[in-house]
Structures are given as C-alpha cells and as structure tokens.
Amino acid sequence: MENKSKEILLQVEDLRIEFGKARNKFVAVNDVSFNIYKGETFGLVGESGSGKTTIGRAIMRINETAGGTIKFRGKVINGKIDRSLDKEVTEKVQMIFQDPMASLNERAKVDYIVSEGLYNLKKFSCEQERKEKVERALKDVGLLPEFASRFPHEFSGGQRQRIGIARVLVMEPELIIADEPISALDVSIRAQVLNILSALKREKGLTYLFIAHDLSVMRFITDRIAVIHKGRIVELAETEELFKNPLHPYTRALLSAIPQPDPVLEKHKKIEIYDPNCHEYEQDPPKWHKLDSDHYILANDKELKEYKKCLK
C-alpha cells in the first residue's frame, strides 16, 4: 500500500499538551506526529495514562494545545480559529466514548440524546426532518425507532453504546474518534459493536481514529497503528508490519501481553518489560526515524542500529 497518493484527512505535527502551571506543570503529550488518511482506521494504542484520550480531546478542540499543529482537511484547527471552521470541526469530527454507562445523560430521552448535536448546530429545518434524522441514525446502529422515546437506563451496555454511536452518526461526520468503545462492554457483545463500526465505515466512507490500551483487537480492525508511551509515540507502522516486525521494546511488551490461545505457549511465554529509564538517553536522546515501508520508530543512534539489524 502506497500512502503518498492517499488524501490526508488529519495531520498532527509536533503536538504538545500540558496540564497545570509553573512548578505543577505536567507534559501529557510531547512531540506527537501522525497523519490519518481518508478512509483508513488508524489505531492509537498505549497503557492507561499514556495520553490517548488527551490527544483525542485536542483534536475535538476540548483540550488546549501547548505546541504543534493539528490540521483537518489541510486547515489548522488547534488554537484560535474562526467560527465557521469551528462549526465545521464540531460537525465533521465526532467522538465515541469508552463508558456508555457514564456518557449518556440519564434524565434525557434517547430522542434528545441523539439530537443534541443537531440542536447545537441547528442542523435541521423542521421537526419532521430532525425526527427522520434520529430515526435513520437509530436504524443505522440496529435500534428500533420507538426506542427514541425511552430513557438510557432501559438499555443494556451494548445498546447504550449503539445509542452513543447513533448520536455521532446523526451529525454525518467524516472522522470518528472511537475512544476505547468496547473496553467497558461484556466480552460477548464486543464483537457486535466492532462489526457495527466496520459496517458503518464501509457504508458511509468514514475514517476512524481507534483508541485502545492493548493490541489484541487492533490487528483485526486497523490499517496502521501508532504505539504511545508516556505521551510520546514510540513506533508507527502498517498493522501487519507492526505485528511482523515489532521493534521498540514497548511495542514488544504490549505484544507479549496478548493472551495466547494455546495454554502451553501461554504458560511458557516471556512477558517483556520496557523501562525507559534504563537507557543512556541523556547523552544520546531518542529521535523519530523513518525505517523501511512506512515504519517509524523513536530511537537514539545506538538503538537505531540494533533495530535496523532486527528488521525482517
């Protein structure tokens, strides 16, 4: 797959996000760069607290950025932007949240929950049109139109996540940030929700930024994966390439944590551990390097030589 000919939908360059001030300043995201091509599913994977949601929220313009740029369809969307561009981003970039039990307003009916974005952007000309849009969005996620008059507590976790997806679809987005959309769900219904997301992507030509904290589901749904550790991307490659040639010790640690179906292999497998403090980074700091076939890695000079030897 040659990416150069593809259209870039989202471009993140040298992104830096800080929380707190002065002595309490905490850098949550640093030097993060990646492109998302139109029509692809781009995975962002890393352990809890690595900065995944923070990046998603910065793209949504909820989190302020301390440095770098975020471009959507070639236009800078972080920092101060004009009102029409803000409206465009609010409409075209949508986010699905991790916990469908916490993210739906309990006191509102499904009809209102799904319509909220439509109301905010006045994206309908009459009541009839709004109702039709809600009905279509519910149908797209496999829910009945009569569910519109019910409250969230009447639904199961899987159904609630479908409502969360309907709420996003109603806006006719181009980019959907799916922030661990199945982590909080029962294992038995995770596949259903993933299938809905893939079918919608095909039908509506959507692009996804899919966030997860482990690599197990990523292999089946993503085209490319960026691995993030403590606010920095350590490796980025096409999905198959990353599974074939995981180079960074943190990527290898994440891969070794995936349970093996074979109990003998599982019992004898070695869990790898990555300790970023064990390297001599002060004299030879790591930089972002491009290897073969669109494979990128964060490495210092010494590590880079080792990684190049390991490439299959």
Residues that bind ligand ATP (CB under 6 A): 19, 28, 46, 48-54, 213
Residue 48 binding: pick among ligand ATP, Mg ion, none (C-beta 5-8 Å cut-off by kind) = ligand ATP
**Minimum distance from CB of 48 to Mg ion (Å)?**
7
CB 204 within 8 A of CB 141: no
When asked if residue 94 is in the footprint of Mg ion (CB under 5 A), the reply is: no
DSSP string, 43-107: EEE--TTSSHHHHHHHHTTSS--SEEEEEETTEE-SSS--HHHHHHHHHHEEEE-S-TTTSS-TT
Using CB distances below 5 to 8 A depending on partner kind, what does residue 65 bind out of Mg ion, ligand ATP, none?
none
Q: Which residues contact 240 (CB under 8 A, 6 or more apart)?
A: none
Instruction: Tell which positions 172-201 bind Mg ion, by CB under 5 A.
Output: none
Q: Which is nearer to ligand ATP, 50 or 103 (CB)?
A: 50
- Exactly one of 30, 53, 94, 251 binds Mg ion (CB under 5 A); which one? 53
Residue 53 or 65 having the CB closest to Mg ion: 53
The CA distance from 66 to 70, in Å, is: 12
Task: For the CB of residue 161, give the shortest distance to Mg ion in the complex, in Å.
Answer: 16
Query: Which of the listed partners (Mg ion, ligand ATP, none) does 51 bind, with a CB threshold of 5 to 8 Å by partner kind?
Result: ligand ATP
CA distances from 31 to 16, 18, 231, 233 (A): 6, 12, 8, 8
Angstrom distance (rounded) from CA 280 to CA 284:
7
Nearer to Mg ion, 41 or 53 (CB): 53
Question: How many positions of this chain bind Mg ion (CB under 5 A)?
Answer: 1
Contact partner at residue 43 from ligand ATP, Mg ion, none, CB < 5 to 8 Å by partner kind: none
Structure tokens at 294: 């669109």
Nearer to Mg ion, 56 or 246 (CB): 56
Query: Which residue, 11 or 53, has its beta carbon nearer to Mg ion?
Result: 53
From the list Mg ion, ligand ATP, none, which binds 28 (C-beta under 5 to 8 Å, kind-based)?
A: ligand ATP
Tell me whether residue 28 or residue 176 sits nearer to ligand ATP (CB atom).
28
Two structure tokens written together for 21: 């001030």
Q: Work out how close the CB of 214 gets to ligand ATP at its nearest, in angstroms, rounded to a whole number.
A: 10
Only segment of 52-60, 185-193, 196-204, 294-302 that touches Mg ion (CB under 5 A): 52-60
Nearest distance from residue 177's CB to ligand ATP, in Å?
11
- Count each helix (H run) and each strand (E run) in the chain, helices first: 11, 12
The CB-of-26 to ligand ATP minimum distance in angstroms stands at 6
Please state the closest distance from residue 206 (CB atom) to ligand ATP, in A: 22
Sign of CA dihedral 171, 173, 175, 178: positive
97 in Cβ contact with 52 (< 8 Å): no
Helix (H) or strand (E) holding 148: none
The 10 Å Cβ neighbour count of residue 79 is 10
Main-chain phi, psi angles of 300, to 5 degrees: -90, 180
Residue closer to ligand ATP, measured from CB, 29 or 148: 29
Angle at 291 between CA 53 and CA 241, to 5 degrees: 65
Residues that bind Mg ion (CB under 5 A): 53
